[in-house]
Structures are given as structure tokens and as C-alpha cells.
A and B are shown apart, each in its own frame.
Chain A
């Protein structure tokens, strides 16, 4: 009896420690974003919303926020469309060297973001293409396309082949089969790929830093704020970013995984 209490006590403590390890930094970040004082370090002086007010009053931060959203959403849409088309062709047609092509499509996942950013920087220089949000977006497509391809490709099973055949048999052209049958059938995994890709792009720093110039994304803006020292304002913006990620995750969970469970 005592032994059981002891064992279960140890397991619960272990669980609590694991979650504390994962979430303590975030909890501290969020807590000190409400700091009533100039430094986001203990002791906690009291509750205040002043840093959130400061964040929303900061034009540059707000611009960076909307830049981030623009880049995240548009690069994710492009990644999903390209990933879907690649997955569809590799899953449905016999292509020369299809195993090699699959490998090549997924390979960028194994390359570090820094290397990809350096490579793109060199390439853009050679092409005389000025750095802008567009180039950041291109960089994010490069890192997110493999992910989108892998997720969508994995969800393309053989049982959908007959459904596509049926559509073709009923008179649908190849494009209509793809647009009206395949894509809607795969919508859960396409959306999963989209939201994951949005969160990755939203958080991404190195590529965004190296490939942008005047208009920057939020992580880059936060970084430049950090250079002038710790400030509860950075905590506040960090908390907002965290909140956005959590919201996205919840949307994903309830809209998508909830639906697939029901089916």
C-alpha cells in the first residue's frame, strides 16, 4: 500500500517536473509581461497592462506583426499548393525516378535554416534581386514545402484512387477530379500542413533576418528590441505571439482533428 502511494507519488512528481521544464519559461515570460516596473526580472512588483499598451502603440512592432502574418499566410498557401501538386503527381502517376524525386523534395528539411538562408542570399545577390518580404516568403516556401509535401503525400492512400476513378468515370476531367474530389477529400491534411507551416513561418528568425532589409517580420523586430536590453515590452509581444500560436493550435485541434475523429 505504502509502496503504491510512493510509486504513484514519484510518477506524478516526474510528470509535473516534465511539464514545468517545458512550460516554466513561457509562464515566466507571460507573468513578467504584466510587470509593474522597468525590468522583467523577479521580484514581481504588481500587475499592470502598461507594456501591452506600449506594444499596441508601437508602430514598428505593429507593422512587423502584419508583415509576419502576410509572409506566414502567403508562403504557407504557396507551400500547400505546390506540396499538394507534387504529392498528387507522385502518388498517382508513375514518374521516372519517383523515389529519388520524393527524396529530393523532402531533403531541404534536413538542411539547417542558416545554410538555406546563406544559399538563398548568394543566389538572390547573383540574380540582383533586392531583399524584401518577398524574398523572406521565398525562403519560407523553401523550408515549408518539404513539410507540406510530406504531410499531404502521407495522407494519399490507395483507397482514394477508386474514388478518383469513379469521378473520372462519371465524366470529370483530370483538373476537376483534383479540384472537386482529391483536394476536398484531403482537406484535413492540407489544412494541417497549412497551419503547421504558418506557425513555422511565424516563428522563423534566421531566414527572415538574413533575407529582409527594410520591412521585417516580428521575430526580427523582437530581436532588434532585445539588443537594447531586457524590457517587459518584449515579454508582452512574446506573450502575444505565444497566444497566437496557442489559438492556431486550438483551431487545428477542434476544427480538424475533431472532425476526423467523428468520421
Chain B
């Protein structure tokens, strides 16, 4: 089963602390949604509200077409997969997975058969008679997934389920989670603070910070066209270049920065329509710097820069570049493996207009 989820203006306060501040979100049925943000951003609070473990201070939660705001977890069409797996230590795996079915009054033979089917789905059918303490972390994880899916929820909530696994296992489980989600078609809402994990599994990512949604969209859009400085910075390394809009019309805007002036398409202003005089921040991903202008795309030369340090990362060189024109902040650029960069070398910098995103300047930050 699967159902859409609608979160309408949900706020949650604990005493004087606002954990969620008027959050609204529409999730389509069968989507894999990732709530991404640093610890304390409210993502787990939002998940708990979806699961029914917390009630919102205001706002509504609708799952399918039923208002679930104050329904208890047991009566919701959701199940939660907990960070510490929360398996029943005294039960065999098949009984763990069959627990929800038992609570729904299924007979032993029927629920064992169904439970075995779900253990098979996660590749643990052969271990059905074992107890949780005999399993590795990754296997427990799978049992928790099977147990949560066995009751055929409309929405599966995953609370940082991969946090305790080592990197390699985590990547492997991400692929499995995604594959299983595609097979069962259930709506998945997954919480994490790992942006790579988010990009690996999400259909759409919700970037959260300080109780608010900063950005919402498919991974590529969040990365390439972030709608807030926080979102841009959280999704990966980025350079912030302060600037000012000199002139703007419906299709493009002329931007002045310490590195020179650029003409950007209006679509690159993801947060607000540009107006002349706006103080803005340009965000440029390190891999978007080009050493020199070789392509046919419109490029903007940003002047020369001196290499202040570089390190080889396998897929690229990560370089600190000090623009010659200013003594402002150094830029971080990823230069191709083939480029032979040396400290102190002067390189020409250029960037494609399409790759630069302009956002309103943050007041007081950066």
C-alpha cells in the first residue's frame, strides 16, 4: 500500500524552543523522500509527528485523505524503522517480523508464512530461527526493515537507519533500500544528515534548518539550483562570492562582483526575481571553475588566480585559489586530474554563466 502525505503548517514547540516552524510539505504516494539537515534542525521531530509519537503544537497531518494529526501510532498507516533498530531481543527473527501481523490478529501459520516472505525480501530467510543478538548490524537493519514492511504500511518512516553502519555497508544498504522501495511501492520518508546518502536514495530531498524547510526538490535541483545559501552549503562544497545587481530585466541580470561582472540568466536567481540594487551572493561549485575557456558555452572570465595550495583527490585536484584582483577570500576549485597544478602558479579562471546561482545575500552570516 502507499499513500500521499500532506503536512500543513505544522509547528512544534518544546517550552521556549521552536523545533518546527510552520512546516508545509506535500509528499506524493510512492515517493522516496529524504529529510536532510544538521542535528537539531527538526527533521526527527517532523518524522515523530508523522509517526504519531509527538503531536504538533499547531497544524495538520493528512495521510491518504484522513486527518492523522492526533491519531496514535498503533492506529496510523505508518510504521517507523528506528535508528537503533529496536528489535525484540527475546524473539526469533520470524516472530520479530510477524509481530505486527500478530497484533492484527493473524493466525500463527499465516503470519509465519508472511514473515518468511518478508525475511526473504531482505535476504534473511535462512536465519529466521535466529535471535537478534546473533546478527550483525547490517542484518539487524534488514530485519527492522522487514518487520516495518510486514504490516503493509502506507508510509514507512526511517529514522537515520543507516547511521550506525560503516561506510561501505551504508552505501550497500542505500542501494538495497532504494531497490526495495521500488519493489514495494510504499511511500518512504527517510531522515539523515548525510547529503551523499540523501542524493543516493531520494526522489526528492527536503533540506531543513532551524525548524524550517530551506529547499525541496530532486537531488540534482537541490545541488545545481539551491534555493537558499544554507541549502547550497549543506549539499556540498561551494564558494560564496558577494555581489550586487547592476541592472536587471525579465530574462537576465547584470551582476557586479569583486571578480568582475557577469550577465546571468534570470532563471539563475532561484530565490527571488532580481532587481537593480539587490545585494546578492553568487554560489559557485568548485567543479564549475574552468582553467581556461575552451567550450562553446558563454563563459565569464574571472581573472587570474594564484594557486595557494592543492591536493590530489583521485577524481580531481582540490585547489585553494587566491584571485589576483582582490585580497578577499580564497576560492576552492576542483581542477581536472590531468591539470598539472603547482603551488604559486597563476591560472586563468572562468565559469559558465549557467552554473552560477545567485541568492539574496545573508545578513550577518558568511
List residues of A whose CB falls within 8 A of some B CB.
Answer: 159, 162-163, 165-173, 176, 180-181, 184-185, 187, 263
Tell me the nearest residue of chain B to A170, going by C-beta.
Answer: B100
Nearest CB in chain A: distance from B51 CB, A: 7
Besides the known contacts A165-B82, A166-B82, A170-B151, 10 further A-B residue pairs in the complex with CB atoms under 8 A apart:
A162-B86, A163-B88, A168-B73, A169-B53, A169-B78, A170-B148, A172-B74, A172-B103, A180-B99, A184-B91
Contact: A170 with B89, CB < 8 Å?
Answer: no
By the criterion CB–CB under 8 Å, are A167 and B88 in contact?
yes
Q: Are A171 and B82 in contact (CB under 8 A)?
A: no
Q: Is B86 a contact of A171 with CB atoms below 8 Å?
A: no
Please give, as numbers and ranges, the residues of chain A lying within 8 Å of B90 by CB-CB distance: 184-185, 187
Nearest CB on A from B321, distance (A): 48
The count of A-to-B residue pairs whose CB atoms sit within 8 angstroms is 63
**Chain B residues within an 8 Å CB radius of A167:** 88, 99
Q: 27 A–B contact pairs at CB < 8 A? A: A162-B83, A163-B87, A163-B89, A165-B53, A165-B86, A166-B86, A166-B88, A168-B73, A168-B74, A169-B51, A169-B52, A169-B74, A169-B80, A170-B79, A170-B99, A170-B100, A170-B103, A170-B147, A170-B148, A170-B151, A171-B103, A171-B104, A171-B151, A172-B99, A172-B103, A180-B99, A185-B88
* A159 nearest in chain B by CB position: B84
Task: Check if B133 is an interface residue, CB within 8 A of chain A.
Answer: yes
Query: A162 to B82, Cβ gap below 8 A?
Result: yes
Q: How far is the CB of A183 from chain B (nearest CB, A)?
A: 10
B residues near A169, Cβ cutoff 8 Å: 51-53, 73-74, 78-80
Total interface residues in chain B, CB < 8 Å: 27
Q: Chain B residues near A176: list those with CB within 8 A.
A: 103
Cα(A171)–Cα(B78), bound, Å: 10
Q: Name the one of A173, A180, A187 contacting B74, with C-beta atoms under 8 angstroms.
A: A173
Q: Which 7 A-B pairs have the closest CB atoms?
A: A170-B100, A171-B103, A166-B86, A162-B86, A184-B90, A169-B73, A163-B86
Asked if B80 contacts A166 (CB within 8 A), the reply is yes
In the complex formed, the residue of B with least CB distance to A163 is B86
Among A166, A168, A184, A263, max chain B CB count under 10 A is at A166
Instruction: Give the Cβ gap from B55 to chain A, nearest Cβ, in Å.
Output: 15
A263 and B89 in contact, given A170-B100, A171-B103, A176-B103 (Cβ under 8 angstroms) = yes
Bound together, the chains give a CA A172 to CA B79 distance in angstroms of 12
Q: Which of B65-86 contact A (CB under 8 A)?
A: 72-75, 78-80, 82-84, 86
Residues of A contacting B52 in the complex (Cβ-Cβ under 8 angstroms): 169
User: Roughly how many angstroms separate A194 CA and B337 CA in the complex, as a whole number?
Assistant: 69
User: What's the least CB distance linking B69 to chain A, in Å?
Assistant: 17
B340 CB to closest chain A CB (Å) equals: 54
> In the assembled complex, which residues on chain B have CB atoms less than 8 Å from the CB atom of A173?
74
> Who on chain A is nearest to B52 by CB?
A169
Picked from A171, A180, A184, A263, the residue with its CB within 8 Å of the CB of B133 is A263
Chain A residues near B133 (CB, 8 Å)?
263
Residue of A nearest to B105 (CB): A171
Q: Specify which chain B residues have a CB less than 8 angstroms from the CB of A187 in the assembled complex.
A: 90
Q: Which of B80, B84, B87, B100 contacts A171 (CB 8 A)?
A: B100
Task: Tell me the smallest distance from the CB of A216 to a CB of chain B, in Å.
Answer: 40
B356 to chain A, nearest CB (A): 45
* Nearest neighbor of A169 in chain B, beta-carbon distance: B73
* Bound-state Cα–Cα, A170 to B73, Å: 8
> How far, in Å, is B186 (CB) from chain A's closest CB?
15
